[in-house]
């Protein structure tokens, strides 16, 4: 059994390092033919002499090649700007397509084999490592042994390394996709399986890796918490929504010549929902497109208040949402790293609501421009000063680079807790108008701290439990882990009549003292 685990770990590590190695694997030679096919004729003229020493030149690494390409274009642009020949400034992003064409080597010749070695062998290895735990780790129950002795789970060298790797990956993914063309090519065959006419982009790579992580680590989550049916059902739910709604369905829609649309995503998390191009794409795509547009609005305008009223924000955050799905599966190993201090809670409240306000103002600006056709609202350029900074700061940096990259440092819900405007909105409803609460069981709390420690949202659950008070917090995503790790059966997630939700704290057992905190 143990041998199976270690073999699995070796296989997984092989795949993992092979995947990293693929980044360095190819050589890059741009043929004149590719240059002529990809670059627009009017640009070819401008770039011809600047590309002379790039074409047919062999580069052994993506970064210098991409830099050379971008350098050539930038050189042209600065010359043209100097001459004030604005129509000759090139805004097209040629780096990715030129890099894809220039890539030579194993990744193009043996894509399928490499894919199998990385993802099939990697999955087999991961499952060989994970599944024997059913027997090896003893009977079903809370398995937190050694968490704070472990270099991965306790901000040790392994955790920090993975954090650095994730941050690097996100930066490359968001801003330097041409550098990681090898990885993008690697998942081409999956893209073609779903949609034969398409070529993988960095977003397809991202979606694939994301879904892959949610599925594999979802299996881990289910094994770990198999004593709790709530955890099993909830994990299956996020695995399903990520795979079907976030990954497959949008690709299938594209294959059917419909707009790319994730039916479970919604504004304001989906911050480009009201972008002009998005509205135009949907409204010009016939009945289904109109339905998508209406669906997206209904979901946040009606779906959120209704479902949060009945079930709390958990219906979305820990059952449906993609960010939540990754946090609850791949991120489970890091939930204990969230900061439980009052200071962190204060920062959280200001930050997340400020971002909600930012998202609303940004959206108003974008819609204003869309409706009026004017680029400025109150003299402010809505793209330059609202939409663009929001996309960069919140959409990319916060939700991606920090949100996921900092899993091993600040816990798995950094984004959900401090940044997500949708979580803020769901939270406001949950706080003020919902049947959901976590109830505490009479006087049974022993203040041990397991609930607070394992709360990924950094809620000091114990503070409520030990005084016999219901936990009603806007940030609670209802993952149910506090209830699972409680050794005394004190905590329970419940949807109940709103009366008594904010009741007096009651510690049962002392007849000499009446209700008092």
Partner 1 sequence: MSKIVILGNGIAGITAARHIRKHTNDSITVISGESDHFFSRTALMYIYMGHMKYEHTKPYEDWFWAKNKIDLLKAWIKTIDFDSKKLITSTSEEITYDRLILATGSQSNKFGWPGENLRGVQGLYNLQDLDMMETTTQHVKRAVIVGGGLIGVEMAEMLHSRGIHVTYLIRESRFWGNVLPEKEGALIDRHLKEHHIDLRKETELEEIIDDGKGSVKGIKTKSGEVIDCQFVGLTVGVRPNIDFLKDTSLEIDKGILVDEHLATNIPDVYAIGDCAQLKSAPSHRRPIEAVWYVGRMMGETVAKTITGTPTKYQPGIWFNSAKFFDIEYQTYGSVPARLDENHESFYWEAADGKKCIHIVYEKADQKVTGINTFGIRMRHEVWDKWLNDGKTLSYVVEHLPKANFDPEFFKRFEPEIQQQYNEEYGDSIIISKPTFFQRIFN
Report, in Å, the least distance between residue 513 CB and partner 1. Answer: 5
Report, in Å, the least distance between residue 416 CB and partner 1. Answer: 21
Binding part of the chain for partner 1, among 189-197, 229-237, 276-284, 381-389 by CB under 8 A, reads 229-237
SS3 286: helix
The answer to the question of residue 110 lying near partner 1 (CB under 8 A) is: no
The answer to the question of residue 203 lying near partner 1 (CB under 8 A) is: no
Burial class (CB in 10 A: 0-12, 13-18, 19+), 143: middle
Binding part of the chain for partner 1, among 5-13, 15-23, 171-179, 445-453 by CB under 8 A, reads 445-453
Which residues in 451-470 contact partner 1 (CB under 8 A)? 452-453, 462-463, 466
- Measured CA to CA, the distance from residue 415 to residue 430 in angstroms comes to 18
Q: How many residues bind partner 1 (CB under 8 A)?
A: 58
Determine how many CB atoms are found less than 10 A away from the CB of residue 229.
9
- Measured CA to CA, the distance from residue 213 to residue 239 in angstroms comes to 10
Report, in Å, the least distance between residue 154 CB and partner 1. Answer: 8
Instruction: Note whether 214 and 326 are within 8 A (CB).
Output: yes
Nearer CB in complex with partner 1: 195/444: 444
Instruction: Note whether 515 and 504 are within 8 A (CB).
Output: yes
Nearer CB in complex with partner 1: 389/443: 443
- Measured CA to CA, the distance from residue 311 to residue 234 in angstroms comes to 13
Report, in Å, the least distance between residue 9 CB and partner 1. Answer: 18
The answer to the question of residue 197 lying near partner 1 (CB under 8 A) is: no
Q: Choose, by CB under 8 A, the member of 105, 305, 443, 505 that binds partner 1.
A: 443
Instruction: Note whether 313 and 430 are within 8 A (CB).
Output: yes
- Measured CA to CA, the distance from residue 9 to residue 15 in angstroms comes to 10
Report, in Å, the least distance between residue 324 CB and partner 1. Answer: 18
Q: Choose, by CB under 8 A, the member of 144, 199, 237, 258 that binds partner 1.
A: 144
Q: Choose, by CB under 8 A, the member of 77, 441, 472, 501 that binds partner 1.
A: 441
Q: Which two tokens stand for residue 174?
A: 């968001």
Report, in Å, the least distance between residue 385 CB and partner 1. Answer: 40
Q: Choose, by CB under 8 A, the member of 17, 175, 310, 502 that binds partner 1.
A: 310
The answer to the question of residue 507 lying near partner 1 (CB under 8 A) is: yes
Instruction: Note whether 312 and 430 are within 8 A (CB).
Output: yes
Binding part of the chain for partner 1, among 138-146, 158-166, 293-301, 368-376 by CB under 8 A, reads 138-146
Nearer CB in complex with partner 1: 422/455: 455
Instruction: Note whether 111 and 82 are within 8 A (CB).
Output: no
Report, in Å, the least distance between residue 420 CB and partner 1. Answer: 24
Binding part of the chain for partner 1, among 108-116, 236-244, 412-420, 492-500 by CB under 8 A, reads 492-500
Strand partners, 438: 471, 493
Q: Would you put residue 105 in left (φ > 0), alpha (ψ -120 to 50) or beta?
A: left
The answer to the question of residue 500 lying near partner 1 (CB under 8 A) is: no
Instruction: Note whether 146 and 140 are within 8 A (CB).
Output: no
How big is the chain, counted in residues? 517
The answer to the question of residue 503 lying near partner 1 (CB under 8 A) is: no
Q: Where are the alpha helices (DSSP H) in 52-156?
A: 62-82, 95-102, 106-109, 111-115, 121-130, 133-136
Report, in Å, the least distance between residue 339 CB and partner 1. Answer: 11
Report, in Å, the least distance between residue 136 CB and partner 1. Answer: 12
The answer to the question of residue 149 lying near partner 1 (CB under 8 A) is: yes
Three-state SS sequence of 150-188: CCCCCCCHHHHHHHHHHHHHHHHHHHCHHHHHHHHHHCH
Specify the DSSP element, H or E, that contains 438. strand 436-440
**Roughly what angle, to the nearest 10 degrees, separates helices 62-82 and 41-51?**
110
Q: Choose, by CB under 8 A, the member of 161, 341, 372, 375 that binds partner 1.
A: 341
The answer to the question of residue 442 lying near partner 1 (CB under 8 A) is: yes
- Measured CA to CA, the distance from residue 107 to residue 225 in angstroms comes to 39
The answer to the question of residue 449 lying near partner 1 (CB under 8 A) is: yes
The answer to the question of residue 227 lying near partner 1 (CB under 8 A) is: yes
Q: How far is CA 513 from CA 501, 509, 517, in A?
A: 22, 9, 10
Contacts to partner 1 by CB under 8 A: 138-142, 144-150, 227-230, 232-233, 310, 341-342, 435, 441-444, 446-450, 452-453, 462-463, 466, 480, 483-485, 487-489, 492-496, 506-513, 516-517
């Amino acid at each position: 059994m143990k041998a199976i685990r270690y073999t699995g770990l070796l296989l997984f590590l092989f795949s993992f390092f092979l995947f990293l190695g693929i980044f360095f694997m190819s050589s890059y030679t741009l043929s004149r033919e590719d240059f002529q096919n990809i670059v627009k004729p009017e640009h070819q003229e401008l770039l011809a002499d600047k590309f002379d020493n790039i074409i047919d030149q062999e580069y052994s690494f993506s970064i210098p090649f991409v830099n050379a390409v971008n350098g050539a274009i930038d050189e042209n642009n600065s010359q043209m700007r100097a001459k004030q020949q604005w129509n000759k400034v090139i805004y097209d992003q040629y780096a990715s397509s030129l890099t894809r064409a220039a890539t030579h080597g194993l990744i193009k010749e043996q894509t399928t084999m490499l894919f199998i070695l990385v993802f099939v062998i990697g999955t087999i290895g991961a499952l060989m490592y994970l599944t024997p735990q059913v027997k090896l780790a003893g009977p079903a129950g809370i398995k937190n042994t050694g968490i704070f002795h472990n270099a991965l789970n306790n901000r040790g060298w392994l955790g920090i390394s993975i954090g650095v790797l994730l941050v690097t990956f996100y930066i490359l993914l968001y801003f330097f996709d041409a550098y990681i063309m090898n990885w993008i090519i690697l998942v081409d065959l999956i893209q073609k399986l779903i949609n034969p006419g398409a070529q993988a982009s960095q977003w397809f790579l991202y979606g694939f890796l994301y879904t892959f992580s949610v599925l594999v680590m979802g299996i881990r989550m289910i094994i770990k918490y198999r004593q709790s049916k709530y955890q099993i059902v909830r994990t299956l739910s996020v695995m399903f929504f990520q795979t079907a709604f976030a990954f497959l369905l949008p690709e299938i829609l594209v294959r059917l010549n419909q707009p790319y649309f994730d039916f479970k995503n919604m504004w304001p998390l989906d911050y480009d929902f009201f972008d002009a191009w998005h509205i135009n794409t949907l409204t010009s795509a016939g009945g289904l497109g109109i339905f998508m547009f209406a669906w997206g609005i209904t979901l946040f305008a009606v779906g959120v208040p209704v479902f949060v009223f009945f079930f709390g924000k958990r219906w979305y955050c820990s059952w449906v949402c993609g960010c939540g799905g990754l946090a609850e599966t791949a991120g489970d190993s890091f939930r204990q790293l969230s900061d439980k201090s009052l200071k962190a809670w204060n920062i959280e409240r200001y930050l997340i609501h400020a971002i909600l306000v930012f998202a609303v103002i940004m959206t108003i600006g974008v819609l204003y421009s869309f409706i009026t056709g004017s680029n400025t609202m109150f003299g402010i350029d809505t793209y330059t000063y609202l939409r663009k900074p929001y996309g960069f700061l919140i959409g990319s940096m916060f939700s991606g680079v920090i949100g996921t990259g900092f899993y091993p440092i600040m816990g798995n819900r950094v984004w959900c807790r401090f940044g997500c405007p949708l979580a803020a909105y769901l939270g406001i409803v949950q706080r003020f108008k919902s049947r959901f609460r976590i109830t505490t069981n009479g006087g049974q709390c022993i203040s041990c701290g397991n609930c607070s420690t394992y709360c990924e949202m950094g809620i000091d659950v114990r503070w409520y439990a030990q005084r016999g008070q219901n936990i009603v917090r806007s940030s609670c995503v209802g993952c149910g882990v506090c209830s699972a790790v409680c050794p005394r059966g004190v905590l329970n997630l419940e949807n109940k009549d709103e009366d008594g939700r904010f009741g007096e704290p009651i510690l049962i057992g002392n007849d000499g003292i009446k209700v008092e905190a």
